[in-house]
Amino acid sequence: MATRAIEIEDPKSGEVTEAVYEHPLVVRLCHWINTVALFVLVGSGLQIFKAFPSFGAKIPQKDLLHWPKAFAIGGWLGGALQWHLTFMWIYIATGLIYLGYQLFSGNYRQVLFAPRDIPGVWPMVRHYFLFGEKPAAREAYNPLQKHAYTSAIILGALSVLTGIAIWKPVQFSWLGWMMGGFHYARLWHFLIMWALLAFVFGHLVMVVLHGWSNFVSMLTGWKKDPEYRAE
Amino acid sequence: MKTRLNNRQFKSMNRRELLKIVPVVALGVFAIPKVQAPLLKAGLGFSDWVSARLFRSSHLAPTFSNSDLTPFNKFPINDYDVDDPEVDFEKWNLTVGGAVQKPGDYLLSQIQALPKITQNTRHVCVEGWDVIGRFSGARLSDFLKLIGADLTARFITVECADDYYESLDMATALHPQTLLCYEMYDQPLTREHGAPLRLQIPTKVGYKQAKYLTDLKVTQTLQKIGYWEDQGYSEFYGL
């Protein structure tokens, strides 16, 4: 994969650093629009959940947790459904545009966790969690990052599919059936949300810890002085 | 040979690239109170439009065996006002009007004379819970033929003894599983469940399945949509 790379010269010191174009515009737009959509979907989803905060029977009803209203969007069930059923289209649209772009541009190789990444997983785990030596970076993402991003994309797709299964349990009854029925589809939808939130949490921690240039590159596309050499 | 820029050129290129993602800020219109409501209404309307396109009269709601039924005493009773609007069964009839050839008052016995359908189907509430119940009644489509309804009209509207009201698109009204229901679990409908007559529509969410029916109209236009819809719930909410 050819990453677009340039050199930047400081006229005073004459120092030359490399910069790579990591994130094409489509990817950046989809990333940030999807961020907003996910935020709204989680907030309104939790308000919807408040109408029946359980995964058991209605009678007798055993509540799983009482989610505070302050951390929910929509104010009431009807309002939350409006937000949810509006932003789901934005979420789906950016997801599809992103996937389509990645596939057709070949840019997916940057993030897709592939079998060749497997040998690199253990050294990265050792580095992150066991204070092992940091493996040399050869591309934009290390194997663990690829694994995380690929998982997040899969979770995103599953969040849509489980959502369709509970929004349209008759027209797409086969989807609900694959998920173990309407009841389970609702539970999966909820669990997948938490899995996505766990990803977002880890993602933010990594950005805070050593991600300023990564953060900037998701805004402008360019990363100055990358750890790896672009081809 | 790689392109070489100086610091300043690199910075201005970054600024240009940053500006390109500014359109994301357009989502901020959802934070403006005045436009928020119409935007969300449009979003919900789009969802309803897609729902109506996805609807197929040949797509049947899954049916279940008797062993899957939720016990009758665990079938929830939801109402917006009272469980029992104290309908006088002796005097009850269904007042039919609108785009029909034979308007007037219909007795329960006339509805019960139509072919009786019994089905075990899932009842899904907008709140998120679901139960499987056993319902019997006449197909609404059979009743619409009995009253000589104009089947090219767009909507069926109903009014209820508790002042609840609802509307239904014609495609769903003609769906073979859409019933004028007078029995649950092989017993006459109880007062709490909508006696003597309710709508039972396994392809719709619960609030569309009005109880304690008193009036039914066939119409081309809607003055009001439904008790909950008029407060912001989905108009179509097909499952």
Asked if residue A51 belongs to a domain, the reply is yes
In a domain, A149, yes or no: yes
DSSP per-residue letters across B161-223 = TTS-EEEEEHHHHTSTT-EEEEEETTEEPPTTTTTT-EEE-TTB-GGGS--SEEEEEEESS-S
d(Cα B194, Cα A54) in Å, to the nearest integer?
A: 26
Lowest mean pLDDT among A24-28, A127-131, A201-205, B105-109: A127-131
Domain count, chain A: 1
Please check whether residue A39 lies inside any domain of the structure: yes
For chain A, how big is the Rg over CA atoms in Å?
21
B-interface mutation test, from A88, A170, A193, most B Cβ less than 10 A away = A170
Q: Per-residue pLDDT averaged across B2-12, rounded?
A: 88
Place of tokens 């937000």: A83
Radius of gyration of chain B measured on its C-alpha atoms? 24
User: Least CB-CB distance to A219: which of B10, B18, B232?
Assistant: B18
A33, A81, A219 member nearest B234 (Cβ): A81
Residues of A in contact with B55 (CB under 8 A): 171
Quick check: A156 and A172 in contact, CB under 8 A? Answer: no
Q: Which of B2, B14, B128 sits opposite A7 (nearest CB)?
A: B2
Per the prediction, chain A carries an average pLDDT of: 91
Contacts of A49 in chain B (CB under 8 A): 128
In chain A, what residues touch B131 (CB-CB under 8 Å)? Answer: 58
pLDDT value at position A128? 81
Task: Report the percent of chain B where pLDDT is more than 90.
Answer: 92
Distance from CA of A29 to the nearest CA of B (A): 6
Which CATH code for domain B58-231? Answer: 3.90.420.10
- Per-domain residue ranges for chain B? 58-231
**Tokens coding A8:** 């930047």
Q: How many CB atoms lie within 10 A of CB B109?
A: 7
Average pLDDT over residues A166-193: 95
User: Which pLDDT tens digit goes with each residue over A66-101?
Assistant: 998 889 999 999 999 999 999 999 999 999 999 999
pLDDT digits (tens, 9 = 90+) for A175-188: 999 999 999 999 99
| Residue A231 reports pLDDT greater than 60 | no
- Provide mean pLDDT across the span A40-51: 97
Nearest-CB residue to A222 (from B3, B14, B203): B14
Residue A152: give its domain's CATH number.
1.20.950.20
> What ipTM is given for this predicted complex?
0.93
Q: Which two tokens stand for residue B3?
A: 């392109």
Q: Is residue A107 part of a domain?
A: yes
Pairing between strand B4-6 and B213-219? Answer: unpaired
Q: How far is B95 from chain A (nearest CA, A)?
A: 31
Buried b vs exposed e over B4-36: b needs ≥16 C-beta within 10 Å? ebebeebeebbeebeeebeebeebeebeeeeee
Domain coverage including residue A154: 34-62+69-212
